[in-house]
Amino acid sequence: MLIETVLVGILFSLYIFLWKTKRVIQKKKTGKDPEVIGQSKSNLQALMNILFKAITYYVILIIGIHTLKIDFFGLNAQFNLLVGIEWDITGFIVGLFGLCFCLYAQIKMKNSWRVGIDENSKEDLITDGIFRFVRNPTYLGLFLLNLGVCLIWPTHLVFYLNIIFVLIFEIQVRCEEDFLENLYGEEYRLYKNKSYRYIPFIY
């Protein structure tokens, strides 16, 4: 349906807008590019950078396949239980809710916001607001965004994207947590013990 393509297109465009705008504004303000994942000396971070780019291309491929209604080995066939305008609207709302988390995190983190691990800078540790309960609201927002797209396009291709996305970001989060613990020491350990990775009181 055209409405599904439009809704996914809006969500994806808003995500790109938030990311690009924050990157440009922060770079202009600080003189430093906040997207540091490609600058890391770590082999694992170099791999993660490649995987993040691969996910972006995969998303573009999915949008193209679904928009043009290309039969991709039957993987773009929809799950019957999740077909209907009510699911499309629900998915769009969930996606917007996820983008709100991303925007909140960008605003709250100010110049501490990064894409990747910044090995050459030590900013203030943000532990108030929603960060008091959730250490990674940006990633929570991205998970919700992907879930929203899955509800709009409930196909195997999008479902696999969600699984791959979660697995890759689970690895990245653990890398970041280890780095922050080494950087901030006891301050971060105390914060980690009284907060949750993504979902308050659950995980």
- pLDDT, one tens digit per residue, over 84-116 is 899 999 999 999 999 999 999 999 999 889 999
From the list 164, 166, 158, 156, the residue with the least C-alpha distance to 91 is 158
- pLDDT, one tens digit per residue, over 35-60 is 988 888 888 999 999 999 999 999 88
From the list 31, 53, 49, the residue with the least C-alpha distance to 41 is 49
Compute the distance between CA of residue 201 and CA of residue 27 in angstroms, rounded to an integer: 35
Architecture of the domain delimited by 1-20+31-193: Up-down Bundle (1.20)
- pLDDT, one tens digit per residue, over 114-123 is 999 988 888 8
Q: At what angle do helices 156-184 and 43-68 cross, to 10 degrees?
A: 160
pTM for the full predicted model: 0.89
- pLDDT, one tens digit per residue, over 3-24 is 999 999 999 999 999 999 999 9
